[in-house]
Amino acid sequence: MTDRPDRPADGRVERLAQARRLLAEHPVVDGHNDLPWALRKQVRYDLDRLDIGADQSAALHTDIPRLRAGGVGAQFWSVYVSADLAGDHAVSATLEQVDAVGQLIDRYPGDLVRALTADDMEAARASGRIASLMGAEGGHSIDNSLATLRALYRLGVRYLTLTHNDNVDWADSATDEPRHGGLTDFGREVVREMNRIGMLVDLSHVAATTMRDALATSAAPVIFSHSSARAICDHPRNVPDDVLAALPANGGIAMATFVPKFILPAAVEWTAAADANLRAHGFHPLDTTPEAMALHRAFEAERPRPVATAATVADHLDHMREVAGVDHIGIGGDFDGTAFTPAGLDDVSGYPNLLAELLERGWSRADLAKLTWSNAVRVLRDAEAVARELSATRGPSNAVLTAS
Amino acid sequence: MADLQDESEAGPCVGAPESPAPVVADALERAAALLAEHPVADGCNTLVWTLRQTPYHDTDTDIPRLRSGAVGAQFWSLLTPTTGDRVVADTLELIDIAHDLVHAYPDELLLALTAGDLADARNRGRIASFLGPVSGSTLTDSLGTLHAFHKLGVRSLAPAGATWAQDDLTPFGHEVVREANRLAMGLDLTGCPPEAAVQIAGASRAPVLISHTGAAALTRHPLNVPDEVLLAVRATGGVCMVSFSAEQTGDSLHAVADHLDHIRGVAGPQSVGLGACFGSDPPHGHPTGLTDPSGYPRLFAELLDRGWPEPDLALLAWDNVARVLRDVEFTSRAAHHRKP
């Protein structure tokens, strides 16, 4: 708007500076970052070998200098474990992931601080440190046990994504064959127990039927820790409009993700072909080891990869804002959980570019402050209030999954 | 009460043939007085597992009976008989139930995490409740799970059954022992094969314990320990706690006392303790006279009759456990500069 036709770059520079000023005051709460899993895979949690206190752009999307440059004020670190793990192996691996986040927090006390509540998030912001929260990704991490769910909560985990890419015994995933048609009775009990203890219900990765069942069951606001709009890019990982429209009544938020293969229609097709290529060479499609990445690059040389940009993410956010409202959106980049990232949002230092794009599109400072910081903090605070109320009237649930 | 005692005790009381009945009653009074001063710190109760199994119970453990048995501290066992890939989840469930149990009786039970809490509970008239042991087979190839258990309040680990403590302590097993020392997590050698038990005791820089056992020299049973293990525990400054189990010790109060005599003789009065293993539904399989926690005073009366000096009984009841907990913490503080 302030662009002069002869010096178009000026406006962009100005907006970027404005975005940085805004982030200094209202930093980003990011819903999902897979750094712990990357540290497990690359160096088996040997934090000396991959010191995120220094620049690690060769190996990771995430390190502290770039989090700082990106204006990140709070991060839900994913304690994801592969759905190939089941039973005790999944639970143990989740505990190891939780332990690794604890080690990170202890190791960088000047930059990271453990956050368990909305108040902790505000205190972290006031002290200039990055509030570090945890989210578990997939019901396999609790092995059909509500006591394990409670144990994860006691260890500091604050959201549970109901499924990952595979169905669990009580909920359908977006990327698996429908088996239950949403949540089973036990699945509803899991949601109720999450409400009671104050664990956020995360509906990224779940089937639309599961989203609707969970919204009908949950007494607390839900989140989508890293999902975008299905109307913009028709991928099952995204949120359909009727579910987005239900968020105002529920109070929850959908945090737009940056993963190109979910947000850019052209990339959906390309990814299907690339995954087939990886499988043909015996790799898991989510593999990000050097060997797998080399294969990816060779494939790319033959068939150029469609590139998403900050504008692609902004398209989703514009739509999500239209349907769900400005109080019900957020950001969940999925850095270090995806092989590719959009141009301009290459790593965790990229958030200012997204904000500059949104400023360009006329988003107000107040709107952006909600998007980056206050919506997410509000959701955690509201979930805490619901938990206080419910736990005063209801004891722990000891329901078990009966073999069907 | 005293009359009934006279009848049952006078007959088999071989230690003091000339003792007339009133002396036995006197021993019971002295035992009660001693226990008022030095309550029992019991190393093993399986109530948590029982509570998980069924909603209806006829268990031998309840707070009135713990109180009348002068129990002042209790380790609540979190061992599960499950194997395979449900051990971690089951253990987390048991931890959850144990927390619920402690929170349900705030006037009676106090969650204890340190030796300081043990003293605190005693000063406030609560039963200090330690969580543990958890099964070592929950640790397969990493220590993250151990850290999580520690954060959730667990204070002892039983390596028995773990792949890393079968006959030989593997390198990973050594790492577990080091980390347990660093975290102030007690090592409970109950059920370990003797070779592994001796190796763990040798590797540990902190005292080790055996939470429910008997002397293999008297009764052969997989959970009973041979003298070489008793000596190894003694060398660490640890404690061997005798179980009240008809199978492990023989079906009478005197048989339990025989085991205590033997362990005191081999491991020394500094390394003998009590880990009754109450807390199950019937059939309990406890020796007659010691069928629930209210039986402790009778046992102490018997030991007085056998000539145990009162300071040794104080060690047996409370002081040995308190010392082990303090020493485990001391070792941990000394090791805490090490990273996880």
Number of independent structural domains in chain A: 1
The ipTM value here is 0.71
Provide the pLDDT for residue A10.
77
Q: Measure CB to CB from residue B88 to each of A88, A98, A395 and give the nearest one.
A: A88
Q: How far is A148 from chain B (nearest CA, A)?
A: 5
Per the domain annotation, does A4 fall within a domain? Answer: no
Helix spans in B38-143 (H): 47-53, 63-68, 87-104, 115-123
Q: Which residues contact B55 (CB under 8 A, 6 or more apart)?
A: none
Provide the pLDDT for residue A284.
86
Number of independent structural domains in chain B: 1
Rounded CA separation A152/A202 (Å): 15
Helix (H) or strand (E) holding A158: strand A157-161
Does residue B13 register a pLDDT over 70? no
What is the pLDDT averaged over residues B193-210?
A: 96
Catalytic residue status for A89 = no
Per the domain annotation, does A229 fall within a domain? Answer: yes
Whole-model pTM: value is 0.83
pLDDT tens digits, one per residue of B268-317: 999 999 999 999 877 778 999 899 999 999 999 999 999 999 999 999 99
At A8, the pLDDT band (50, 70, 90 cuts) reads low
Q: How far is B152 from chain A (nearest CA, A)?
A: 7
CATH number at residue B289: 3.20.20.140
pLDDT tens digits, one per residue of B101-133: 999 999 999 999 999 999 999 999 999 999 999
What is the pLDDT averaged over residues A153-177?
A: 97
Per the domain annotation, does A86 fall within a domain? Answer: yes
Per the domain annotation, does B104 fall within a domain? Answer: yes
From the list B90, B150, B104, the residue with the least C-alpha distance to A155 is B150
Query: Residue holding tokens 């979930």?
Result: A383
Domain that holds residue B189: 38-335
Provide the pLDDT for residue A6.
47
Does residue B217 register a pLDDT over 50? yes
Per the domain annotation, does A223 fall within a domain? Answer: yes
Please tell me which residue in A26, A61, A140, A164 is annotated as part of the active site. Answer: A164
Does residue B24 register a pLDDT over 70? no
Per the domain annotation, does B15 fall within a domain? Answer: no
- Measured between beta carbons, the chain B residues lying within 8 angstroms of A396 are 96, 100
Partner-chain contact A89 B100, CB within 8 Å: no
Q: Is A142:A165 a contact under the CB 8 Å cutoff?
A: no
pLDDT tens digits, one per residue of A175-202: 999 999 999 999 999 999 999 999 999 9
Per the domain annotation, does A271 fall within a domain? Answer: no
Provide the pLDDT for residue A300.
87
Per the domain annotation, does A347 fall within a domain? Answer: yes
Per the domain annotation, does B67 fall within a domain? Answer: yes
Mean pLDDT value across chain A:
94
- Between A97 and A277, the more confident residue is A97
Chain-centroid distance, C-alpha B127: 14
A86 touches chain B (CB under 8 A): yes
- Measured between beta carbons, the chain B residues lying within 8 angstroms of A95 are 88, 144-145, 147-148
Does residue B147 register a pLDDT over 90? yes
Rounded CA separation A263/B261 (Å): 75
What is the pLDDT averaged over residues B19-39?
A: 79
What is the pLDDT averaged over residues A60-70?
A: 97
Nearest CA in chain B to A101: B144
Q: How far is B95 from chain A (nearest CA, A)?
A: 8
- Measured between beta carbons, the chain B residues lying within 8 angstroms of A97 are 144
Chain-centroid distance, C-alpha A11: 31
Catalytic residue status for A319 = no
Per the domain annotation, does B141 fall within a domain? Answer: yes
Would you say the C-alpha torsion A123, A128, A129, A130 has a positive or negative sign? positive
- Measured between beta carbons, the chain B residues lying within 8 angstroms of A47 are none
Domain that holds residue A212: 10-264+307-393
pLDDT tens digits, one per residue of B61-82: 999 999 999 999 999 999 998 7
Burial of B21 (0-12, 13-18, 19+ CB in 10 A): middle
Does residue A370 register a pLDDT over 60? yes
Would you say the C-alpha torsion A138, A105, A333, A40 has a positive or negative sign? negative
pLDDT tens digits, one per residue of B87-100: 999 999 999 999 99
Per the domain annotation, does B9 fall within a domain? Answer: no
What is the pLDDT averaged over residues B7-12?
A: 39
CATH number at residue A236: 3.20.20.140
Does residue A247 register a pLDDT over 90? yes
User: In this prediction, what percent of chain A has a pLDDT beyond 70?
Assistant: 97
Provide the pLDDT for residue A98.
97
Catalytic residue status for A334 = yes
Q: Is B69:B279 a contact under the CB 8 Å cutoff?
A: no
Per the domain annotation, does B63 fall within a domain? Answer: yes
Per the domain annotation, does B175 fall within a domain? Answer: yes
Per the domain annotation, does A272 fall within a domain? Answer: no
Provide the pLDDT for residue B268.
96
Asked if omega into A36 is within 30° of 0 (cis), the reply is: no
Query: Residue holding tokens 């019937």?
Result: B282
Does residue B4 register a pLDDT over 70? no
Q: Measure CB to CB from residue B93 to each of A96, A102, A148 and give the nearest one.
A: A148
- Between A32 and A291, the more confident residue is A32
- Measured between beta carbons, the chain A residues lying within 8 angstroms of B90 are 145
